[in-house]
Amino acid sequence: MKLYEHEAKTILAKSGIPTPTGSLAASPTQAKKVASQLHPPYAVKAQVLVAGRGKAGGILFANSLKEVEKASSKVLNMKIKGLRVGSVLIEEKIRVKKELYFGITIDRSRRCYVAIASTTGGVDIEEVASDKPEKIFKVFIDPTLGFRSYHARQIANKMGYSGKQMLRLAGILEKFYKVATEHDAELIEMNPLIETADGGFVAADARLIIDDNALYRHLQYKERLFSKDKTELTTEEIRAKKAGLAYVQLDGNVGIIGNGAGLVMATLDAVQLYGGKPANFLDVGGGASKQQVVEALNILLTDQQAHVVFINILGGITRCDEVAKGILEVQKEMGFVKPIIIRLVGTNEEEGRRMLTEAGIHVLDSMEEAAKKAVDML
């Protein structure tokens, strides 16, 4: 779950981390009113759930209320990476002495959080890691120990600070780690973290992604998963989440349904092997019900991007006859508006095959043969 910049900054501010003075606006008139309560110059920042808005022209600066109104009008009429800008954050522009980076994310190979810092901020951290690896500092955080004061001081010192300024920065980094753990962050970053002209530090930009699996602990954000205006998910992805399906839209033309993440990934590979391009990842999961199969198939049959649908079921907990019932219900209600290739093996395979065969639907037992046939049907 991605949070907007203004939401992430509100969380940081409540935790004692300095952020710029500002407020949200949904119209140019409102933006002008917000700016009238701030000191110039101003920053006008698009609130969208994607990175790279600065490069896309979604961050503008203004020196007067008239310029704020003009800049906010321009930004509010933009689309950034396909997402409409619905609001802007109006802030006092910070006097920058130096731009830094600090973030915390998960190192899955080590099964722990890793703190990442750089003396170069305001750009993609991946570029810094590639071009200037010596400017990147990492601390792998033992989950039983946590991010301690000496970790924070060590990083602040490596970033070139000493004395009271080092302690001030270290204090911010400690508070930042606490925010990460309290909000079950997959990723949290300040980029840039500004060193100001008076020697202070301010989080000029903030990003926070909460682990979806932990949203039961953050109920104020859970409903957003099903709101098209407040999530980066597509209509199909929202529909799949409501049905309890794991779905990710891709850019190919072969729609794929499977049961189990490993099987679905193998299916994507098989389609790619035979020259096709997957249109999605759709996992109905173990023990999928007839209704989940119906919803999964309806999603792909109405997806204009998927020209063929490949259903690959390896029944274990999932029963092949239950899958067959779902397929037959869709056939009865809306018909098959595009070619469907089915591979069905495993629990209650014979019954599932019988049901589909009697309905005139051919079933295969080889994944490779089914994948090749799906690609041939394009």
Choice among 42, 101, 113, 161 that is catalytic: 101
pLDDT reading at 225 higher than 80: no
Strand partners for 187: 105, 209
d(CA 208, CA 67): 30
Of 215, 323, 256, nearest to 247 (Cα)? 256
Residue 351 has a CB neighbour count (10 Å cut-off) of: 15
365 exposed, middle or buried (CB, 10 Å; 0-12, 13-18, 19+)? exposed
Q: What is the pLDDT of residue 224?
A: 73
262 exposed, middle or buried (CB, 10 Å; 0-12, 13-18, 19+)? exposed
Structure tokens at 3: 């949070």
Choice among 5, 69, 91, 189 that is catalytic: 189
Q: What is the pLDDT of residue 121?
A: 87
% of the chain exceeding 70 in pLDDT: 98
pLDDT band for position 227 (cuts 50, 70, 90): low
Answer with the residue of higher pLDDT: 192 or 125.
Answer: 192
Active site residue 101: yes
Strand partners for 111: none
80 exposed, middle or buried (CB, 10 Å; 0-12, 13-18, 19+)? buried
d(CA 18, CA 200): 9
- In the DSSP assignment, the letter for residue 3 is P
Asked whether 177 and 146 are in contact (CB, 8 A), the reply is yes
pLDDT band for position 368 (cuts 50, 70, 90): very high
Asked whether 118 and 137 are in contact (CB, 8 A), the reply is yes
Asked whether 330 and 255 are in contact (CB, 8 A), the reply is no
d(CA 362, CA 349): 13
Asked whether 169 and 159 are in contact (CB, 8 A), the reply is yes
Question: pLDDT for 305-325, tens place per residue?
Answer: 999 999 999 999 999 999 999
Give the HSE-up count for residue 45: Cα atoms under 13 Å, Cβ half-sphere. Answer: 25
pLDDT reading at 226 higher than 70: no
From the candidate CATH numbers 3.50.50.60, 3.40.190.10, 2.60.120.10, 3.40.50.261, the one assigned to the domain spanning 233-376: 3.40.50.261
pLDDT band for position 118 (cuts 50, 70, 90): very high
Question: pLDDT for 4-62, tens place per residue?
Answer: 999 999 999 999 999 999 999 999 999 999 999 999 999 999 999 888 888 889 999 99
Q: What is the pLDDT of residue 230?
A: 59
d(CA 69, CA 87): 13
pLDDT reading at 279 higher than 90: yes
pLDDT band for position 287 (cuts 50, 70, 90): confident
**Least trusted range by pLDDT, from 52-56, 149-153, 219-223, 266-270:** 219-223
pLDDT band for position 369 (cuts 50, 70, 90): very high
What is the amino acid identity at position 332?
K
Length of the chain: 378
Domain with CATH 3.40.50.261 in the chain: 233-376
% of the chain exceeding 90 in pLDDT: 79
Question: pLDDT for 86-105, tens place per residue?
Answer: 999 999 999 999 999 999 99
d(CA 130, CA 233): 30
Q: Which CATH superfamily is domain 20-92 in?
A: ATP-grasp fold, A domain (3.30.1490.20)
Q: What is the pLDDT of residue 220?
A: 85
Domain with CATH 3.30.1490.20 in the chain: 20-92
Q: What is the C-alpha R_g of the chain?
A: 25
pTM confidence score: 0.76
Quote the mean pLDDT of the chain. Answer: 93
d(CA 184, CA 74): 35
CATH 3.30.470.20 fits 96-221, yes or no: yes
Active site residue 174: no
d(CA 60, CA 310): 46
Annotate 135-164 with DSSP letters as a single string.
GEEEEEE-TTT-S-HHHHHHHHHHTT--HH
Domain with CATH 3.30.470.20 in the chain: 96-221
pLDDT reading at 228 higher than 80: no
pLDDT reading at 194 higher than 60: yes
Question: pLDDT for 120-146, tens place per residue?
Answer: 988 777 788 778 888 899 999 999 999
What is the amino acid identity at position 119?
T
Asked whether 268 and 255 are in contact (CB, 8 A), the reply is no
Question: pLDDT for 46-87, tens place per residue?
Answer: 999 888 888 889 999 999 999 999 999 999 999 998 788 999
What φ, ψ does residue 41 adopt, rounded to 5°? -75, 170
